[in-house]
Structure 1
Amino acid sequence: MFFFGLGKLFYSIILVINAITILSEDRFLARIGWGRTQQTDPSFGVSYDGSSVKAKTINLISSVRTVMRVPLIVINTMVIVYELILG
């Protein structure tokens, strides 16, 4: 019973990390003003606030996309094999 809950939590975490990783910065994030270019190149008279929640979220998304790309390939492959064998 205890492991059943942890399995669902593990799947949920993997799905959220997958969703963050596949977000396209050009097609989605830049359109809503969450692109990296809007934060690093402020216009004239506007200062960059790196301590805001929005800036920290943008940095988190970028970091997850950079760091988790290769490990997610391995983790997703292991989950697929596990589901195919043990269902």
Structure 2
Amino acid sequence: MFFATSFGTLFYVSVLLVNAIAILNEQRFLARIGLSEQAYQQSNFGNEQTVTLKVINLISAVRTLLRIPLIVVNILIIVYELILG
């Protein structure tokens, strides 16, 4: 029983974190903290793979690839919570 609740909580937290990454606005938020692709290209001229570039790529991949699956997962979670509470 404890493992199932821990797994469910971990699943909810991971979905919420991915939702938070997916809704970040590039112009209003990410550019201010230097995590937009344009701001990174202006500040660095090299082609090296830094941690900042990897974070930028992760954010853009989440926003591009997980948009439709996140909609489906969020609908399933809402239906589950409505039915089973």
Would the TM-score normalized by the shorter structure come out above 0.5? yes
Q: Is the 8 A contact 1:42 1:48 kept in 2?
A: no
Q: Match of 1:42, SS?
A: helix
Q: Is the 8 A contact 1:49 1:55 kept in 2?
A: no
Q: Name stretches of at least 5 consecutive residues in structure 2 with no aligned partner.
A: none
Q: Which has the higher contact order (CA 8 A, sep 6+)?
A: 2
Alignment of 1:1-87 (within 5 A): 1-39=2-40, 41-42=41-42, 46-87=44-85
More helix by share: 2
* Residue identity matched to 2:67: R
TM-score, scaled to structure 2: 0.91
RMSD of aligned alpha carbons: 1.4
TM-score, scaled to structure 1: 0.89
Structure-2 separation of matches of 1:50 and 1:67: 24
Give how far 1:31 is off: 1.1
Give how far 1:42 is off: 3.4
Tell me which stretches of 4 or more aligned residues in structure 1 moved more than 6 Å: none
Corresponding pairs, count = 84
Identity of aligned residues (%): 52
Structure-2 separation of matches of 1:50 and 1:78: 40
